[in-house]
Structure 1
Amino acid sequence: MDWIREHMTESWLALAIVLGVAEMFSLDLVLIMLATGALGGMVASFFTDSFAIAAVVALITSVGMLAVVRPGLARKLDHGPELRLGHRKLVGTQGIVTETVTSLTPGRVRLSGELWSAQPYDETLTIESGETVEVFEIRGATAYVHPVPRLEP
């Protein structure tokens, strides 16, 4: 313990380096905040020989970084594209009606190269074969579709 007390500045720096390297493997932004706290303890050790004071400064710095900086930084870094899997990836896509679709008799629609049973999203519509439709919702194995408006020449 005497060696750490005699080399307190170097000890805090070594702890900050170890935590910084460990952060490169975790990428969770927690260890880098603790490393910043260790740097705060290192700065405090320049001004005092008390390990307790340096430890309190390191603790306050770490907690402050975790509470104030990390949430905003994590939110900014996690702002990537949404990954859509399964049938949810079909919502919003367009397909071609292969069998007439009505609310009373489900028809068939070709979506992304696959045939799906389909019903109109608006129950009053009848969608004829050959029409282009957009998928509004998927319930079970049935696609609820709506015709895509066409511009007449």
Structure 2
Amino acid sequence: MDWLWWVGASLLFALIEIISLDLVLIMFAGGALAAAGANAAGAPLWLQILVFAVVSILLLVALRPYLLRSLRSRTPLAETNVAAHVGRTALAVDRVTELGGRVKLVGEVWTARTEQDAPPIPAGADVRVVRIDGATAVVTALPAQHPTV
């Protein structure tokens, strides 16, 4: 009946994996199931632990990279939170210099600055977010678009 401890550990690893989605703990769950099999076959505890470690490492090294590649190729990466703002256009609310300024980005006013040695951007100009540095949007000026008549 000691094999039930290994099965319980495997289930616990699998449940935590559902939360983390790193494909690490599920490999430990596989190792725990292998150790449960070793226990059911009558192996001593030291051998069960060795089976757990070896199978877990083999799964991590051999199976996890394949699963990650497969998962990433089928699921497009969707940027969220701050990373989603990089590349977006915004409107300069105030003059933006390398020391500071403000832009309106996706309906919110953000503190902003330009890269060092970049020319100041006047209020009302369109800008593109280059990166987010803390709570500050680092922006660059977009070329002025002249309406065609």
Tell me the TM-score normalized by structure 1: 0.57
Q: 1:63 aligns with which of 41, 50, 53?
A: 53
Q: Provide, for residues 109-136 of structure 1, a one-character-per-residue CA deviation record: whole Å limited to 9, x for no partner.
A: 1112122233222433132333221223
- SS of 1:99's equivalent? coil
Q: How does 1:48-127 map to 2 (within 5 A)?
A: 51=42, 54-55=43-44, 57-70=47-60, 73=63, 76=67, 84-85=80-81, 89-103=84-98, 106-127=100-121
Partners of 1:12 and 1:94 lie apart in 2 by 61
- SS of 1:123's equivalent? coil
Cα RMSD of the aligned pairs, angstroms, is 3.8
Match of 2:29 in 1: 31
- SS of 2:93's equivalent? strand
Q: What are structure 1's unaligned runs of at least 5 residues?
A: 1-10, 46-50
Partners of 2:2 and 2:60 lie apart in 1 by 21
- SS of 2:34's equivalent? helix
Q: Which has the larger radius of gyration?
A: 1
